[in-house]
Chain A
């Protein structure tokens, strides 16, 4: 297995301006030092609550948001040093699917135009070949050819998301960021789209960075999972390990908070007090210490290092003082699925 995407200590700060001269008065630390590896043909799930930085991270990886610092390697090539033109060329390999397909499809373009646009931008094939490819793409995502001349408003949410997926597939990408692709959909349609994404991944060997707030959706699609809180990845391991044995107190609280659709099973809930702190003024030490049920004095002062509580072959990385014995040393990238 080889790595497709390697992200090291990525940061994205949004400046907050104020005062008479619109000076930068503070920074919103949306993504604050995140490292991970995504293997070829696999899916990394990013999960966390609103404002945790998961969407910003997804966009920063594609340089749709210009990262403040850090390194991003795609297929071994460093993306941060590329010029705009070079980046545009690389974008053929990486695509994004958005949460709201209605907002991401132009209302004035037909389905055919929307799906064909990436082919036009990158100048691929003759007009006739492009048209043929658009028809094939529609077939792949389960839409009929007759819809080609229709406009986005004529479709249901699930169908629009299929169009968004077809567009993302047009350039035959190696890597797709899927940002909450099913969150706007009803459950009965949600599972149709999730099954479609799973099938495409198998058939086209695409790697996904799959962003969702829904732990159940993340479990279904992911090989590895990163749990985010306040701009940091607090736990990172294989999906299997995470769901069998969540270690970070935040992950445990998050898992216990999900309502269980079975009246006989009353979940033993860890109710967290208070709210997520503002990313403009993150707490000192561990970002979770203000709400953590197991907080210790050290958590308020020292940022917990990333440590491996799993094995070398099946790492389970967490940033938490509860497990600090022998810190791994650096906060470099390591992959939980390297086995």
Chain B
């Protein structure tokens, strides 16, 4: 477990990301701020459309522009504001200092090149290595992520590998240049549970070995509970709660977080007659209410919630936590 002390490695301030659509601009990420400290694993959780993936992509400036654009805010990484870098400077940063792994490794890997060729390319792009040196590093990385017979596998094409193996190759590639920050976007969602367990174990192990910070973007609170130090809960483009993992699961302050935790299907001693639910559904990002975006699904909502939007503030009596709610649960 990490210590959240010293200067943050990554600091996001007032970030707003919009996409132009046929029906007008949509704010996928609406004024979010958070820090990530060295060696910690932070989970960004939420349901589809909450802005978690856009947040992850924006950190590496990977959202398509247009239709997307960063409207305001800063992303400070190791003292530099990533929103102000040129595309060329950004390319030097990606893969070397910040890496990303995606949900579907088959679409992220190039099908016409061998695993080795793709890995060697990345290594030689960022490091001063000969082909054979880069190949040796690549084999070593494949071994580290638990690929059996890496000397043979390195010359195979992505389609020859299973889903779990492909995701391991992605991780090996992402870590080959020793990045300080890894953004993992739903890295195990496309995998079966037994494979997911293998891959998550690997990510946790490598996080310690490589002394890097990890941002884990996921909808799966189970995965977050097992691998993160801290979590950021998003709803409709906003951060609605942030807390160290233990506290978030034990005492969620935001009614949405509580509802989300309760509605996760889990294996129970005795099965319930009714599963707990969150009534209603996520509002349309094109027609957001003025007040709290969760208000019409919330049992605690009052007139004020419909009128004014609550901002993320430090929770009462605890500086590490934040909650955006007028009527938080104690």
Q: Is the CB of A259 within 8 A of B260?
A: no
Are A263 and B226 in contact, CB atoms less than 8 angstroms apart? yes
Binds A, one of B85-93, B130-138, B268-276, B304-312: B268-276
Q: How far is the CB of B199 from chain A (nearest CB, A)?
A: 11
Whether B198 sits at the interface, judged by CB under 8 Å, is yes
The answer to whether A186 and B267 have CB atoms under 8 Å apart is: no
Quote the shortest CB–CB distance from B272 to chain A (angstroms).
Answer: 7
Binds A, one of B21-29, B121-129, B217-225: B217-225
Taking the nearest CB of chain B, how far is it from the CB of A63, in angstroms?
A: 28
Q: Which of A13-21, A95-103, A266-274, A330-338 contacts the other chain?
A: A266-274
Q: Which of B195, B224, B277 contacts A195 (CB 8 A)?
A: B277
A-B pairs under 8 A by CB, number: 124
Cβ-defined contact, A263 with B245, below 8 A: yes
Q: Is the CB of B193 within 8 A of A258?
A: yes
Binary contact readout B222-235 vs A (1 if CB under 8 angstroms, 0 otherwise): 11111000000000
Are A189 and B225 in contact, with the CB atoms below 8 A?
A: no
User: Is B140 in the interface zone, CB < 8 Å from A?
Assistant: no
A219 in contact with B275 (CB, 8 Å) = no
Bound: A195/B195 CA distance, A: 29
Supply 6 further A-B pairs (C-beta < 8 A) apart from A187-B47, A194-B265: A254-B194, A257-B194, A259-B223, A259-B225, A260-B225, A271-B194
B259 contacts the other chain (Cβ, under 8 Å)?
yes
Interface string of B251-271 (1 = CB under 8 A from A): 000000001110111111001
Q: Give chain A nearest CB distance to B315 CB in angstroms.
A: 18
B249 & A259 in contact (Cβ 8 Å cutoff): no
- How many residues of chain B get a CB closer than 8 Å to chain A's CBs? 46
Tell yes or no: A122 within 8 A of B by CB.
Answer: no
Q: Judging by beta carbons under 8 Å apart, are B265 and A191 in contact?
A: yes
Q: State in angstroms the CA–CA spacing of A186 and B249 once bound together.
A: 19
**Residue contact B249 to A49, C-beta cutoff 8 Å:** no
Interface: B62 (CB within 8 A): no
Q: Taking CB as reference atom, which chain A residue is nearest B256?
A: A188
Q: Is B165 an interface residue (CB 8 A)?
A: yes
Which residues in A have their C-beta under 8 angstroms from that of B162?
A: 275-276
Which B residues are in CB contact (< 8 Å) with A192?
A: 277, 279
Which B13-65 residues have a C-beta within 8 angstroms of A? 47-48
Q: Which of A191, A192, A256, A269: most chain B CB closer than 10 A? A: A191
A272's nearest neighbour on chain B, judged by CB, is B194
Q: Using A187-B260, A188-B278 as known contacts, say yes or no to A219 and B271 having CB atoms under 8 A apart.
A: yes
Please tell me if A326 contacts chain B, counting CB pairs below 8 Å: no
Q: Are A191 and B48 in contact (CB under 8 A)?
A: no
Q: Which residues of B contact A156 (CB under 8 A)?
A: 281-282
Interface pairs (24), CB distance under 8 Å = A187-B263, A188-B47, A190-B265, A191-B265, A192-B279, A213-B193, A215-B193, A215-B267, A216-B265, A216-B266, A219-B267, A219-B268, A219-B271, A243-B267, A257-B194, A258-B222, A261-B225, A261-B266, A263-B249, A264-B250, A267-B226, A271-B198, A272-B197, A276-B192
Specify which chain B residues have a CB less than 8 angstroms from the CB of A213 in the assembled complex: 192-193
Closest Cβ neighbor of B262 among chain A residues: A191
What is the chain A residue whose CB lies nearest that of B195? A275
**Cα of A269 to Cα of B198 in the assembled complex, Å:** 10
Among A188, A194, A271, the one with the most B-chain Cβ atoms within 10 Å of its Cβ is A188
**Contact across chains for B221 and A261 when beta carbons are under 8 A apart:** yes
Is the C-beta of A80 less than 8 angstroms from some C-beta in chain B? Answer: no
Give min CB distance, A296 to chain B, whole Å.
Answer: 21
Who on chain B is nearest to A256 by CB?
B197
User: Is the CB of B81 closer than 8 A to any CB of chain A?
Assistant: no
Report if B116 contacts A (CB, 8 A): no
A292 at the interface (CB under 8 A from B): no
Whether B201 is near chain A, meaning CB under 8 Å from some CB there, is: yes
Q: Which residues of B contact A267 (CB under 8 A)?
A: 226
Tell me if B246 counts as interface (CB < 8 A to partner A): yes
- What is the distance, in angstroms, from A10's C-beta to the closest C-beta of chain B? 23
Q: Does A158 contact B (CB under 8 A)?
A: yes
Complex-state Cα separation, A267 to B222, whole angstroms: 11
For residue B200, CB closer than 8 A to chain A, the reply is yes
Shortest beta-carbon distance from A94 to chain B in Å: 26
Beta-carbon contact of A259 and B259 below 8 Å: no
Q: Compute how far the CA of A213 lies from the CA of B225 in the bound complex, rounded to whole angstroms.
A: 20
CB distance from B256 to the nearest CB of A (A): 9
Closest residue on chain A to residue B279 by CB atoms: A192
Is the C-beta of B95 less than 8 angstroms from some C-beta in chain A? no
**A217 on the B face (CB < 8 A):** yes
Asked whether B200 lies within 8 Å of A259 as measured between CB atoms, the reply is yes
Q: Which residue of A lies closest to B221 (CB)?
A: A261
Complex Cα–Cα for A16 and B276 (A): 46
* Contact (Cβ within 8 A) A275 B164: yes
B225 touches A253 (CB 8 A): no
Q: Residue A49 contacts which of B148, B194, B223 (CB distance < 8 angstroms)?
A: B194
A278's nearest neighbour on chain B, judged by CB, is B162
B226 and A195: CB pair below 8 A?
no
Known: A49-B192, A253-B194. A261 touches B267 (CB 8 A): no
Q: B118 at the A/B interface (Cβ < 8 Å)? A: no
Does any Cβ of B come within 8 Å of A301's Cβ?
no
CB nearest neighbor in A for B247: A263
Cα separation A156 to B280 with both chains bound (whole Å): 11
Contacts of B193 in A (CB 8 A): 49, 213, 215, 254, 257-258
CB of A144, distance to nearest CB on chain B (Å) = 13
Residue numbers in B under 8 Å from A264 (CB-CB): 246, 249-250
- In the assembly, what is the distance between CA of A303 and CA of B128, in Å? 55
How far does the alpha carbon of A219 sit from the alpha carbon of B267 in the complex, in Å?
Answer: 7
Residue interface mask B170-201, A partner, CB < 8 A = 1: 00000000000000000000001111111011
CB-CB < 8 A to B278: which residues of A? 188
